[in-house]
Structure 1
Amino acid sequence: MKHYMIVFGTRPELIKIFPLIKECQNHAKQIKLTIVNTGQQKEMVDILLKEWNIQTNYDLEIMKQQQTLTELTINLMSALEPVLKMENPDVVIVHGDTTTASIASLMAFYQQKKIAHVEAGLRTSNKNAPFPEEMNRQLVDRVADYYFVPTQSNRENLEKEGIDSVIEVTGNTGIDTLHYLDLKRTIGTEQRQILVTLHRRELGEEQLVKICKALVAIAKEYPDIIIKYPVHLNPKIKNIVCSLLSNQPNIDLTNPLNYLAFQQEMMNSFLVITDSGGIQEEAPYYKVPVLVIREVTERQEAVLAGGLKLIGTDERKLYKNVVALLNNADEYESMRAAKCTRTYGDGKAAKRIIRRLLQEV
């Protein structure tokens, strides 16, 4: 029997690692599975674990209030090393670009364990955008043994860097999760909703203020729309957003939504404004246009297909693009009709990954 260890710590990781957990459980006669939750994002992860009835083998509870990246790194190292030594897995499976993924890979490398990187090969080639995620992902790709990439361009990124290990194009496991949920669009109000999420470290306070002012201007000019903004719990973000947006009647500020509720809101939205990585994959799946509040993105495929627009952090550009989509039905429909639905996969990525791992290790 082969022993696989899956390590995650944040909600985005769990959302995309969930199909792999299910697929390993489908091969219980061949795979002993150890599930490790580092607790990097405790509350949000715990909610999903309960909703999806996932029993972890280890909950390392490394989350501390306002800890620095250095403190997070030290805590992860100290907590993960004894688990790896005790369990002695054949392969450690990590996902994406989090600090959990980066440090789990490093600790596995120190223990001379095989490492499988799911969602490998994404690049902006700017080490500070997104920060620290771009370098986290590159660090994992330097020590990994098996690379499971969502798209052909991700494979090409790795090959350009001289990586010649096992690289397999699988699609994105986040799309597997959407297939599993099979949510249906809610039929109801015709009021157009703009869904907003902003949380990146590299989005400065001055930029966030200007973006909020642009949202107020849009809300005032178009009182028939609603702007729904689940506000990130980061106090710096929350204080700015609430102070600038709370008095506009058609801007609805909410606490962070659980995963299912957020997916339903996104599916029913007219437009999404975000700096999130995962949403750049999910919204096109629902054929909802996306304006990306970032200067660069590691997910160029949907930009090239036309479902996303990369508009940076300039509030004037944001205002101009939102107004254009509200006023120009042809422009809106061209984004909505962009051929993005299968850009990131067909819902079978986890099956491909586990099948290949069973062949390799």
Structure 2
Amino acid sequence: MSGYFVAFVVGTRPEAIKLAPLAHALAAAGVAPRLILTGQHPGLSAADHGLAGLPSIELHCPGLEDPLAHAFTVARKLSPHLDLDPPDLLLVQGDTSSALGAARAAHSQNIPLGHVEAGLRTHDRTMPWPEEDNRVAIGKLAQLLFAPTPDAATNLDREQCEGSIHVTGNTGIDALLATLASLPAVSPRRARRASAPLDIVVTCHRRENWGAGLTSLAAALLELGGDGTAAIEVVLHPNPCVADIMHSLFAGQRGISLSMPTTHRAMIARMRRADLILSDSGGVQEEAPALGVPLLVLRDKTERPEAVACGNARLVGTSTLRLLQEVRSLAADRSALARMARPAMPFGDGHAAPRIAAIIRRWLIDQDMNAARRRA
């Protein structure tokens, strides 16, 4: 395998978290990983996410503009690098504008593309926008499609994607389990009396919830924190547009504390201590079931229905009335809360990265052999 290399495109913190296990698995399999940092999340540190020491380039494309314009900028700035030193495979993860821009650049220069976390769908282009369009478009361009679940693979089959589809599990679970192994052990959660406030962690950042969604969420949290139903910690998002709004809504309010954006390790440590999580994050939807922490999903539709199907999550949106009903119901019925707290692993067993690495290694060998036959 000497001489083969795979380029990883990373624009956001979730991409870094989920691609780091795969970069290490590929290196262990003898395939050299290289890193392309788009800059979508300015200040993203490769070292903070287990990607230190990899050869890398930076495109300096902060994601502060329109997402479609950002994808175009990423494609434009990445293309000269791909032309100068084309990888044997370019890998993108998920559905960001960085991933879409990189996929388009690879396609335009005839560079093979692999899509990690392929096949997630809400089947609604507006929820989320533009992510649903992004992942559909990337799926049509990729030669290798790594679906985290059978349902995701079925979506790709139905769309008649031409790339080869592989059900691998989600590399985010690999990252979660590795993080848990590095944390101190915790005592089993004890049953709490029905009158005790719920310990709730909240994150909210998706574009579909900007404006009315955040306002109605705030109304519910202020009431729940104010009447003693819950002790609420709101973890701010790195996006300053969202963080500033959340700070203005919650700073100094009774029963609510604000936390600055934190590391993945610190966030996992905080989540596992919670009685309940409220979040619109895709990563949290994957992690909460594995941690055995009940989750209320702050969205009307989700591309991760497996979390709901296994009983660990409920899809509730951001309606103030609905949120008050759901949280107060769980606060009053601790047995229902306990049933949601049974750990489940709908998104994989923590071995997705070595599975994907093995598939990529085999694919590279096959591509090399096929090329040799054509030359003979």
1:186 shift after superposition: 4.2
Hey, what does 1:20 align to over in structure 2?
Answer: 22
Which range moved further: 284-293 or 207-216? 207-216
- Alpha-carbon displacement from aligned partner over 1:65-101 (angstroms, at most 9, x marks no partner): 7322244223212221011112211111111111111
Query: What amino acid sits opposite 2:21 in the alignment?
Result: P
Change (3 A) 1:51 1:295: closer
Structure 1, residues 216-240: CA drift from partner, whole Å, max 9, x if none? 11112226x3200112244443343
331, 345, 351: which is aligned to 1:348? 351
Q: Distance in 1 between matches of 2:109 and 2:328?
A: 54
Per-residue CA deviations over 1:324-351 (Å, capped at 9, x if unaligned) read: 11110121112112xx622111111011
Instruction: Report the equivalent of 2:107.
Output: 109
Percent of pairs identical after alignment? Answer: 33
Q: Which runs of 5+ in 2 are unaligned?
A: 365-376
Distance, in Å, in 2 between the alignment partners of 1:178 and 1:65 is 26
* Residue 52 (structure 1) shift: 2.5
Q: Return closer, same or farther for 1:98/1:220 CA change in 2, 3 Å cut-off.
A: same
- Give RMSD over aligned pairs: 2.0
Specify the alignment match of 1:35 in structure 2.
35
Tell which deviates more after alignment, 281-290 or 199-208.
199-208
Secondary structure at the aligned position of 1:194 is classed as: strand
Aligned AA (1:343): P
Structure 1 residue corresponding to 2:77, chosen from 76, 79, 96: 79
Equivalent residue pairs, number: 354
In the alignment, is residue 214 of structure 1 matched against residue 216 of structure 2? no
Query: Equivalent residue of 1:202, what SS?
Result: helix
Distance 1:63 1:80 in 2: 10
Q: Distance in 2 between matches of 1:143 and 1:54?
A: 29
When normalised by structure 2's length, the TM-score is 0.89
Correspondence for 1:253: 258
**Change beyond 3 A, Cα 1:124–1:185:** farther
* Inter-partner Cα distance in structure 1 for 2:57 and 2:276: 37
1:203 pairs with 206, 209, 213, which one? 209
| 1:175-223 CA distance string (max 9 Å, x none) | 0111222234545997742000010111141231121011011112226
- Contact 1:36/1:56 (CA < 8 Å) preserved in 2? no
Query: Where do 5+ consecutive residues of structure 1 fail to align?
Result: none
The one-letter code matched in structure 2 to 1:20 is L
326, 330, 336: which one aligns with 1:325:
330
8 A contact 2:39–2:63 mirrored in 1: no
Residue aligned with 1:341, SS: coil
Residue 246 of structure 2 corresponds to residue 241 of structure 1: yes
In the alignment, which of 236, 247, 250 is matched to residue 231 of structure 1?
236
Whole-angstrom CA distance in 2 between matches of 1:135 and 1:73 = 12
Query: Under a length normalisation based on structure 1, what TM-score does the superposition of the two structures give?
Result: 0.92
In structure 1, the partner of 2:87 is 89
Shift of 1:51: 5.5
After the TM superposition, which residues 254-293 of structure 1 pair with which residues of structure 2 at under 5 Å, given as runs?
254-293=259-298
* 1:7 aligns with one of 6, 9, 16: 9
Give structure 1 regions of 4+ aligned residues with deviation exceeding 6 angstroms: 188-191
